[in-house]
Amino acid sequence: MLKILHNPRCRKSRETLTLIQEKGIEVEIVEYLKEAPSVDELRSILEMLQLNPEQLLRKGEAVFKENFKGKDLTKDEWIEAMASNPVLIERPIVIKGNRAVIGRPPENVKELL
């Protein structure tokens, strides 16, 4: 089964979810702004994505600009910042087993289907 870290207000997230559902694939939907991933979950996701924490940040968000722009944080500090401020996490993230992709563009998810 697939899992999607989803924001229903995000067009790309909705498009990615629709693409999955149109294939008839069962998907667990996690509204990550309501159910923020833990520090350990974020570490696991970053490992699956093969990214460092800064590559998963949404740097255009007001929270980033007001609190983190220009700061040189460690990997653990960035992960904690995302766990505390899930709006900073790039979306959507689709997970299947031990693999994950960012659904930007939504077609990226096809490699997991």
Active site residues: 10
Helix (H) or strand (E) holding 93: strand 93-96
Q: Which of 36, 72, 78, 84 has its CA nearest to residue 53?
A: 78
Contacts with 42 (C-beta within 8 Å, 6 or more apart), sequence order: 53, 79, 82, 83, 89
- Residue 97: phi, psi to the nearest 5? 60, -120
